[in-house]
Amino acid sequence: MNTKIYNVLFLSVGNSARSIMAEAILNHTGSDRFRAFSAGSMPAERVSPFAMEQIQLARMSTDALHCKNWSMFTSHDAPVFDFVFTVCDEIKLEHLPAWKGQPFTANWSVDDPNIFEGNLSEKRRAFLKSFTQLNWRISIFTSLSLTNLNAPSLKIELDNISKLEDRRKSLEPRQ
């Protein structure tokens, strides 16, 4: 049986934390069905060391991770994407480049841990929170039966993924 491998692109402005963590998570957890990439509209010079730390703590590969401009994914030899997810509000879906094919898109905005101000421990907690949110959303995404959903239903499911997490948080006991 030949199972389709879905190409997924995660986008943020700097491509140094959230989109990089999402790329690593999906490549680790969904490697049999998905191939993940990440890029930014204005990529940073290097990946955040705090993002790399979270990925390494989760025992995921950091080998190919680096900041990339999304223009590299608009060339004629770029992969055809099945899904494109933004992980920050600064990039609006309607301002994205035209990708080859007709990928499904959704905004899974996650707070930017790079802008968190605090001591080292608090900064690490901010990155852990973002990593956990992305991991939760990606686990929901990878559990979808992509071949059994029609296009409108799939779009609704993708858009609802970040809302499901908000609902999960509201059910957690208050401390």
* pLDDT in the model for residue 165: 61
Classify residue 1: in a domain, yes or no. no
* pLDDT in the model for residue 91: 83
pLDDT band at 93 (very low <50, low <70, confident <90, very high): low
Closest by CA to 22, choosing from 119, 133, 123, is 133
Classify residue 56: in a domain, yes or no. yes
- What is the percent of the chain with per-residue pLDDT over 70, rounded to a whole number? 91
Classify residue 123: in a domain, yes or no. yes
Q: Which domain holds residue 21?
A: 6-171
Q: Identify the CATH number of the domain in which residue 162 sits.
A: 3.40.50.2300
Instruction: Please state, in angstroms and rounded to a whole number, the distance separating the CA atoms of residues 53 and 4.
Output: 31
pLDDT higher for 7 or 165?
7
Q: Are 140 and 108 in contact (CB under 8 A)?
A: no
Predicted confidence (pLDDT) per residue in 40-83, tens digit = 999 999 999 999 999 999 999 999 999 999 999 998 899 999 99
| Across 2-6, 21-25, 52-56, 104-108, least confident range | 2-6
Classify residue 82: in a domain, yes or no. yes
**Number of structural domains the chain divides into:** 1
pLDDT band at 14 (very low <50, low <70, confident <90, very high): very high
Classify residue 141: in a domain, yes or no. yes
Classify residue 149: in a domain, yes or no. yes
* pLDDT in the model for residue 166: 55
Looking at the predicted structure, is the pLDDT value of residue 173 above 50?
Answer: no
- Residue 149 exposed, middle or buried by CB count within 10 Å (0-12, 13-18, 19+): middle
Classify residue 44: in a domain, yes or no. yes
Q: What is the DSSP string of 32-76?
A: TTEEEEEEESS--SS--HHHHHHHHHTT---TT----BGGGGSST
Classify residue 52: in a domain, yes or no. yes
Question: Hey, what are 90's tokens?
Answer: 């600064």
